[in-house]
Amino acid sequence: MSNQATGNRHQSTDPPVGAHIVRPPEAPVPVILRETAYGKLNLTLDVLGKRPDGYHDLEMVMCSVALSDELELTLGTGEAWSVVCDRMDLPQNEGNLCWKAARAYFDAAGLDPAGLRIALRKAIPAQAGMAGGSADAAAVLRALNRHYGLFSPEALREIGLRVGSDVPYCLFGGMALARGRGELLSRLPALPKGLCFVLAKPEFSVSTPALFRQLDAVGVTQRPDTPAMLRALEAGNAAEIGRQLANAFEPAVAADYPVVEQIRRVLLAKGALGARLTGTGSVVFGLFDDEDAARAAAAALAPLCPQAWTVAPVDN
């Protein structure tokens, strides 16, 4: 008995020679990607008409600005997809445009990231006409494509268009002329050096579909002179750029929300070269060629709106 017990204690635990060893699959190694999402302004916005597919043909001069969100994507978490955001009033599930952008990318690529977490730190205001959600979606697409390298810029913008009409521009960035739904993009000269913007966010939001319906019913009453704006940009004429700022939606929005015109008057009185609504609002912006004057204007807006920023344009 004692000899048998002793023999068992020294028995080898190595598998037989030639045996097939089954090892548990290795957990994916998480990869962290970081990206910045810049807000946009409409220096001009024209609504040319409604299309048979229900969308509207637009013509817009667009500019990126240095009011930005920060994103961190973690691939290979081994867990269900999640979105976390420091703004609790924004969707933190599949309703978030970041989630939709990631889904569109992986569907187009035929890939599974083995778990995804998107962390979003917001600075671009919501419901402001600055394409905050679309900018975040574009940042997700940029980060993923930088990692995987599967799509050309044109193909990536096609994926972005499935997520939202502003996403292609947010991928393109900088100074651009946007046509169609916003996906037909042409590069424009950068703004002259030394210009900056004051952004003012009054406490209201507007229904974009309702505004389009209103324009369909009554027509456009304030149409930008887009060729004149393009000439001003080509010439680098800051004063003329300010004069040519225009937004087809502004009269309708200002009629319902008089604070829009009040903000414009303050900005112009404080030295803005021009001041307009961006998108369908509610942000009103002023273009300045003096940063000190811009900061003074932002401070003067405090009685009218709780949020104002002085920001630089983002170059092409």
Rounded Cα distance between 274 and 268, Å, is 7
> What is the rounded distance in angstroms from the CA atom of residue 265 to the CA atom of residue 274?
10
Amino acid in the structure at residue 90: L
Per DSSP, 188 falls in state: -
Dihedral sign for Cα atoms in the order 140, 65, 315, 295: negative
**Paired strand residues for 313:** 65
What's the token pair of residue 22?
A: 């089954």
Note whether 42 and 279 are within 8 A (CB).
Answer: yes
- Residue entry with tokens 């521009």: 169
Task: Kindly report the number of other CB atoms within 10 A of residue 54's CB atom.
Answer: 7
* Greatest CA separation for the chain: 105
Distance CA 174, CA 315 (A): 5
- Give yes or no for a contact between 116 and 100, defined as CB atoms under 8 angstroms apart: no
Q: Which are the catalytic amino acids? A: 40, 166
Q: How far apart are CA 154 and CA 157, in angstroms?
A: 5
> Taking a C-beta distance cutoff of 8 angstroms, is the pair 66, 312 a contact?
yes
Q: Is the separation of the CB atoms in 170 and 134 below 8 Å? A: yes
Q: How many residues does the chain have?
A: 316
Q: How far apart are CA 310 and CA 298, in angstroms?
A: 7
